[in-house]
Amino acid sequence: MVDADGHADLDAGDFSTWLTGMQAALHGNGGSDVPCDGCTACCTSSQFVFIEPDESDALAHIPAALLFPAPRRPRGHVVLGYDDRGHCPMLVDGRCSIYEHRPRACRTYDCRVFPAAGIDADQPAIARRARRWRFTYAAPADHDRHEAVRGAIVSLRERHDHATATELAVRAVSSAS
């Protein structure tokens, strides 16, 4: 299928395999493995990157002048902001200049959480990209598993009415069985 901008569907992989890997990444075991294929939407969408105090490698590779105390978080938690175009300042010539040292938030980001949860990202460029993913299902039970993740969004919205789309999608994926 092709979207309104002429962009084709993207293979998101087998849903259950992806879900298992994504849940492991969200629980601190490994990173996400998104076939971004040149897309930089999440580095150019006016997003703050939260960095925790234990991320010494990332912190050592980001100029201190680009880091600010993270609001409503304990001392030592910082955010990496964005420039007046909404681009992360570590994005240089369309590539992450600290890729091997990038923050945990970047390592675990995967825009397939949105189609997994059946909702759109708040950021238009990420939403456009995320709408193109198509999961495959090895067995009918995997379809049911995906429906359960989508179904969880309704009650999550009721309980967390100020949550961002990312927070809702991550919660739905993280808590899926």
The least CB distance from residue 73 to ligand SF4, in Å, is 18
Q: Which stretch binds ligand SF4 (CB under 6 A): 31-39, 67-75, 135-143, 152-160?
A: 31-39
Count CA within 13 A, CB hemisphere, residue 108.
20
Token couple for 57: 């490698």
Establish if 34 lies at the interface with ligand SF4 (CB under 6 A).
yes
SS3 153: helix
Closer residue to ligand SF4 (CB): 86 or 151? 86
CA proximity to 131, closest of 33, 58, 39: 39
Cα separation of 27 and 39, whole Å?
25
Cα separation of 10 and 131, whole Å?
9
Among 19, 126, 156, 176, binds ligand SF4 (CB under 6 A): 126
Token couple for 114: 């949105």
Establish if 113 lies at the interface with ligand SF4 (CB under 6 A).
no
* Sites for ligand SF4 among residues 82-101 (CB under 6 A): 88, 90-91, 96, 98
Residues of this chain that interact with ligand SF4 (CB under 6 A) are 34, 36, 39-43, 49, 88, 90-91, 96, 98, 102-103, 106, 109-111, 126, 129
